[in-house]
Chains A and B, each alone.
Chain A
């Protein structure tokens, strides 16, 4: 999957990312925290920001890209205002994640990897994020929603639509 390098940050964006990265000691073990910080700052991790991270840590860009693209929690492309991440790992699967997916698809009219035409919601299927005790579960932006039932979905999403 080739991803646009999303060139050309604005001066403010570049400054914001640099400021965010300055909070970290430039050691390799901070790679993932730094990627989180970039995502916090920009809402996504564009290619130029990965180059910034690579240069700050003195690690190859390919490694930063490889790491960022491995974790489904990182958004590499500009997407929706709210990202729904539905877990598709076995514990969620056997407790009914498929039904939740159907309910979301019915409510929003989009499938995994897609964004609603109004740009409000994006839907992703992700691997386990460690809340199997309340499976099936999903994360919207930073909020975890567990013990889901299909009928809960419309109301839950309405809350975000109003934000």
Chain B
């Protein structure tokens, strides 16, 4: 890559051809405030916060869209630039509710931060304010268009990263709005509830449906037995909500904090991730040996399940019938565990702490009541769970480590890597290898499926049987693979798809902000946890072995089928209102 030298604030700065002035300045340690820019997204240049002065140019260009050039002289801090930025923020605030104190983004809001940075102390502009009802139609996401600053980060993530495209700008000028087609509610669109729009929104215009007050109610109700499960990716991120650097492993502190909140038992979704792997590996082996539909595709990411139901309904037969670990946990908790404890499952409340926004939708699906009750009652995102800890005055960062309760807290390294892209594939292959060969897998680390490349491929030789694996994260990457599956071009055996970039660790419910750098650190934490575990193969989990011996019988058996497997429903991407018949898969 050719290098160019430019001058920023009087300092010579080296940059690569093709970089933007914003990127060059950031790399050189020169801060330029931004709003519509995000490291995951292509620049749009719509907010005009990042304007700079360039010698020889009449107007102030946006540094996020301005390519560097040899000899360019840039100033990021002139009276002109400061005035322009301030006016942009003042204009944004003139059309923004001033309810910061009660907003869900209080202290994480980028507009709030920006207004502090540019030194807003009064609101000089008074004028009309856009009025808009909130959209509370979905079980996962709330839209508050009044708080929208039209930065289009949600639109770009929905189109560029997820290829769903259920929201877009409409109308023009003062009437410009961001939302679904025809001004409809989100529930009537192709939205898959991945929540990446929420994760990328700088303000409170997009937020999650937060059940924490209902959870508090149940926690203080003596008639309820309230248990909590925590997803693998939460322990690699929730520390960020308490000021710890990204990538800090806080498993023990998180358990301690949840216990102090008053949960009767603190369990681990890693346990049911192990259960998922045992079922899924057997399903794969069955499909391979009995000529079932291949490639088989993982089904633990509910955003992905919504996506394939909507955009590839013809390929639903490829989807593993395994429920996600969250839902397997609920189904096992309200049957096996309730029996073991001798308590009425009607009294049991299962709460999940998830990095995920789509899990909120998933637990509401009518198929997810195989215990005879709602298998999972409430889903809290990582952020919401941390919020409850803050409410209770619990500083997770300072707590001594505690252990998960038994038996649904006994786990392996295979369960924890579910939280990173490639993890389910790696965990499943560790088990499938041993199921097929009866021999110990030679290397536990299948590194070809790790890392942040959008699509990863590997061929794993299992006793002379080549298993062609593909891994995708981010739904635009999944679309690329699915198009090749549909056309018959791809000859994979097994595909893992995670809806969110980086897998669950980059989920829509994770702490703000999530960037490529932060995702990498969270992934490192997850693989370090796996490496340090004594047990690293799901089928060696003694609690899982006991569950089969005492209750389930065998993998893919009658009881498994009843509690741990599900079916899918095709949806129409273009006409959301029509009811379609369930497909036979």
Contacts and interface: CB of A to CB of B under 8 A. Distances in A.
Interface in B149-167: 159, 164-167
Contacts of A70: 169-172
Nearest to B169: A66
A47 B182 contact: yes
A90 to B, nearest CB: 14
Given A1-B183, A50-B181, A70-B171, A62 B574 contact: no
A55 B574 contact: yes
Given A2-B182, A50-B181, A63 B165 contact: yes
Contacts of B171: 1, 69-70
Contact of B182 (A59, A65, A127): A65
A2 B172 CA distance: 14
Contact of A65 (B172, B175, B181, B575): B181
A54 interface: yes
* Most chain A Cβ neighbours within 10 Å, of B159, B175, B184: B184
Contacts of A66: 168-170, 181
Summarize B's interface: helix, strand, loop or mixed: loop
A1 B177 contact: yes
Given A51-B574, A54-B574, A55-B574, A62 B181 contact: yes
Given A3-B182, A3-B183, A51-B575, A62 B177 contact: no
Interface string A1-15: 111110000000000
A2 B184 contact: yes
Nearest to A65: B181
B183 A2 contact: yes
Contacts of B167: 62
A65 B189 CA distance: 13
Nearest to B164: A60
Interface string B163-199: 0111111111001010011111000011000000000
B364 to A, nearest CB: 24
Contact of B166 (A51, A60, A127): A60
A65 B168 contact: yes
Interface string A90-117: 0000000000000000000000000000
A51 B577 CA distance: 12
Size category of the B interface is 20 to 34
Size category of the A interface is 20 to 34
A55 B575 CA distance: 10
Contacts of B172: 69-70, 72, 127
Contacts, number: 61
A60 B184 CA distance: 14
Nearest to A53: B574
A5 to B, nearest CB: 5
B163 to A, nearest CB: 9
A62 B165 contact: yes
A84 interface: no
B183 A63 contact: no
Interface string B117-159: 0000000000000000000000000000000000000000001
Nearest to B180: A62
A127 B171 CA distance: 13
A54 B175 CA distance: 23
A148 interface: no
Nearest to A6: B182
A37 B544 CA distance: 62
A139 interface: no
A1 B170 CA distance: 9
Contacts of B575: 51
B177 A60 contact: no
Nearest to A64: B181
Contacts of B182: 2-5, 47, 50, 65
A128 B165 CA distance: 30
Given A3-B183, A50-B181, A60 B190 contact: yes
A134 interface: no
A33 B167 CA distance: 22
A53 to B, nearest CB: 10
A131 interface: no
B134 to A, nearest CB: 14
A62 B574 CA distance: 10
B168 to A, nearest CB: 4
Contacts of B164: 60
A66 B170 CA distance: 4
B57 to A, nearest CB: 24
A26 to B, nearest CB: 14
A65 to B, nearest CB: 4
Interface string B565-580: 0000000001100000
A132 interface: no
A60 B159 contact: yes
A65 B167 CA distance: 10
**Complex A-B, nearest 6 residue pairs according to Cβ-Cβ distance, in ascending order:** A60-B165, A2-B183, A66-B168, A62-B168, A65-B181, A61-B181
Given A1-B170, A2-B183, A65-B182, 12 more contacts: A1-B177, A2-B184, A3-B182, A47-B181, A60-B164, A61-B574, A62-B168, A62-B180, A62-B181, A63-B165, A66-B168, A66-B181
Interface of B: 159, 164-172, 175, 177, 180-184, 189-190, 574-575
5 contacts: A1-B183, A60-B181, A61-B190, A65-B170, A69-B171
